[in-house]
Amino acid sequence: MAGYQHPQAIDHLQLRLRHVGQVRLSPAWRRAGAAQQPFTEICYVLRGAVGVRQSACEYTLHSGELMIIPAFVSTEIWNASAYEEAVYLTLGCEMELDGTDLFAGRELHIKQQSLPPAVTNLWIEMAEYSERYAEQMDALDRLYLSGKARMWLAEFCRFTGIDLQTGLAKIDSRLQQALQYMRSHFHKSITMAEVAREVNVSEGHLRALFKSEMGVSFRTALQNMRISQAKTLLLGSDLAIGEIAIRTGFNDVHHFSRTFTKVEGVPPSVFRSMATGAERLLFEDHFTDAAQTEKWWSVRHGAGLNTPSHMPFYNDLLTMRDSCLVMKAPGEKEWGSLILKPDALNGEALKNYVVECRLTLQNVQDPINEKIGIVLRTGFFDRILFVYRLQGFASFSRVDPEREVTLAHPVGFVPAEGQMIEVRLEVRGEHVGSHVSFYINNEFVGARRFSLLQGAQQIGLYVHLAEGVFDYFRVTNLY
């Protein structure tokens, strides 16, 4: 059969359906800012006009026009009409072959081609099924949708002429055998020498086959397989990230998180949350509204979160400047603290959550002992979760300060006075205590377990022997 040239490639094409639906945009509706997804998104306009911006380019899609947005391509979408509703079909999925995203590296693609009923009717059927059973969808429902999606993909590619295997030549039989062996053993510590022996070729020949047939090295191909399986487990299971690391052949969770972030652009936990919608924003302050900030926060003397304060909110130690909040320590031996009021979180219990902040130090009085950080209080104790000094990062418990843990700087990062950094703390409650992962500028820098950190009651910021400048602060609940 001439049209079936890649039997093994077709067999191992992975299609993961992330969402399918029908979107209605009211007249003049506009999404606030650009957004991106960790999967390919395909949109088809049924009615009206949809505006799209990607980087500096702006487009208007009308009825019968198609758009393909590859993973992690930022786009802004709006209704281009002030008078008419816009309706479009959307389908989010990942299409991978041997760990390679078939749309990786492609640009946003717009095709002016009306789809036939065979494609649109099946698409609408999937959207309606997904909406009808969204709240009670079980494994069989997902299997049914997955099967429909593969049928839809075949019809879609047939009528649009899109070649999913662009750039993938007919694979040499020895390389096919090597890939098959790697699929069965990627969870172990395998080497190119081991794989070469299995398929009866030299290491040099196998290395050349990977380069000529797939355009990647053996190491990259193996890494892609592991990351692909990790993505499947992140989105299709409740396994802890450490367990996923072990099941996909990584030495430890740190190595896994660093590799995943390098390949996908976001840490594993962020990928899981982005793709499953498992995050819910609880609180966000960009420090642009002085009255609102005063409503949400209370200012204290001292690092202890229970320390009372009778001073006015804005004073010599706390000011708004250039859309940032600037906080000074009260004195040489004192700390300045800013505590989030309980009603700012709507009374939500925090067990699995993310704290994010953009901050820096300036006007440092003591380059050895200056500090800025994020504090959590859980019942009886204050826990200083994250400390930023110009000398480095650390985490420690205030009730057990000798257990301070120094965290490595991201590669190539040397903190400087006045330099803003992005801080992300991911806190996940366990049977006893919590596991906390630390990210600086979106790069994993360390993790540790706190024995008494379940159910944070208060969250705060503090500064010591310097000025702390805060650009934004955000708390997100994780399900």
pLDDT for 444-463, tens place per residue?
A: 777 766 655 555 556 778 77
Integer Cα distance of 69 and 62 in angstroms: 17
The helix/strand/coil state of 251 is coil
Please give the pLDDT value at position 9.
Answer: 47
Both 71 and 93 in a single domain? yes
How many Å from the N-terminal Cα to the C-terminal Cα in the chain? 49
Alpha helices, DSSP H only, in 251-373?
Answer: 253-264, 268-276, 290-296
Both 40 and 146 in a single domain? yes
Integer Cα distance of 194 and 203 in angstroms: 9
C-beta neighbour count of 86 within 10 angstroms = 25
Report yes or no on 166 lying in a domain.
no
Report yes or no on 453 lying in a domain.
yes
The range of the structural domain enclosing residue 441 comes to 280-478
Answer whether residue 197 shows pLDDT above 70. yes
Tens digit of pLDDT for each residue in 314-366? 777 788 888 888 887 766 555 677 788 877 876 666 767 888 888 887 777 66
Please give the pLDDT value at position 129.
Answer: 85
Cβ contacts of 224-229, under 8 Å, gap ≥ 24: 224/98, 224/99, 224/100, 224/263, 225/98, 225/99, 225/182, 225/183, 225/186, 226/99, 226/186, 226/187, 226/250, 227/99, 227/259, 227/260, 227/263, 227/264, 228/14, 228/96, 228/99, 229/186, 229/187
Q: Which of 229, 262, 277 is the last residue of a domain?
A: 277
- Asked whether 393 and 404 are in contact (CB, 8 A), the reply is no
Residue 3: band (very low, low, confident or very high) from pLDDT cuts 50, 70, 90: very low
Both 357 and 460 in a single domain? yes
Answer whether residue 309 shows pLDDT above 60. no
Token pair for residue 19?
Answer: 């969402």
Please give the pLDDT value at position 192.
Answer: 92
pLDDT more than 70, % of the chain: 68
Answer whether residue 412 shows pLDDT above 60. no
Both 155 and 68 in a single domain? yes
CATH number at residue 34: 2.60.120.10
User: What is the 3-state composition of the chain as percent helix, strand, coil, each rounded to the nearest 5?
Assistant: 30, 35, 35
Both 12 and 82 in a single domain? yes
Answer whether residue 403 shows pLDDT above 80. no
Report yes or no on 165 lying in a domain.
no
CATH number at residue 376: 2.60.120.200
- Asked whether 8 and 170 are in contact (CB, 8 A), the reply is no
Both 272 and 289 in a single domain? no
- Asked whether 392 and 410 are in contact (CB, 8 A), the reply is no
C-beta neighbour count of 315 within 10 angstroms = 11
Both 332 and 464 in a single domain? yes
For residue 138, the number of C-alpha atoms closer than 13 Å in the C-beta half-sphere is: 1
pLDDT more than 90, % of the chain: 8
Report yes or no on 211 lying in a domain.
yes
Q: Which of 160, 181, 212 is the last residue of a domain?
A: 160
Q: What is the mean pLDDT of the chain?
A: 75
Both 372 and 330 in a single domain? yes
Please give the pLDDT value at position 369.
Answer: 61
pLDDT-wise least confident of 11-15, 24-28, 73-77, 324-328: 11-15
For residue 131, the number of C-alpha atoms closer than 13 Å in the C-beta half-sphere is: 12
Report yes or no on 104 lying in a domain.
yes
- Residue 24, phi then psi, degrees to nearest 5: -115, 125
The total number of structural domains in the chain stands at: 3
Tens digit of pLDDT for each residue in 102-142? 666 567 788 777 888 888 999 999 988 887 776 566 666 77
